[in-house]
Amino acid sequence: MSFNAEIDQNGSIAFRSWNGEWIGTDCDTELQFTAHGHVQMTEYGFGRDTYAGTYRIDDNGKIHLTFFDDLNPPFVGSFPELALGADPRSLLIRPDIKGTEYKEFNRNGETITECFSMYWPFRRVDAPHAR
């Protein structure tokens, strides 16, 4: 099922870092996309930080995210453009950056640096982690 069809049918679509696997330390991130261009990012650490934002998909299929900075804690940094892809298991998203490594802006990509390349892709999951 496509990204937009999933949102139309189920109201949202969620992706999790680490290829969709819950690591359970201070390095998991989830993105939940909903109708009308809304997105919520949740970073898990000692606690949980949640950021509300918007997304748009351009004519080339790239996903652009913008997060608001009026939540607690304030959002710092920018998120890369994302490329939507798929494999036989599910939809995937990854940074659309050529020739450079993207480092996550808060704790997640910085925490387990020797495994950074495994932080991506984010894989489609049935539901965000239980809160």
The model carries a pTM of 0.82
Please give the sequence-ordered ranges of beta strands (E in DSSP) within the chain, or none if there are none: 12-16, 28-34, 38-44, 48-57, 62-67, 82-86, 91-95, 122-125
pLDDT score at 83: 92
| Rounded CA separation 49/4 (Å) | 26
Could you tell me if residue 61 is inside a domain? yes
Contact 28, 131 (CB under 8 A): no
CATH, residue 64: 2.40.128
The verdict on residue 130 lying in a domain is no
131 lies in a domain? no
Please write the tens of the pLDDT for every residue from 9-46: 999 999 999 899 988 767 788 999 999 999 998 888 77
Of residues 129 and 58, the one with the higher pLDDT is 58
Domains identified in the chain, total number: 1
Residue 62's domain comprises 3-122
pLDDT computed for residue 119 by the predictor: 78
φ, ψ dihedrals at 128, nearest 5°: -60, 160
Q: Is residue 128 part of a domain?
A: no
Q: Give the pLDDT confidence score for residue 112 in this predicted structure.
A: 54
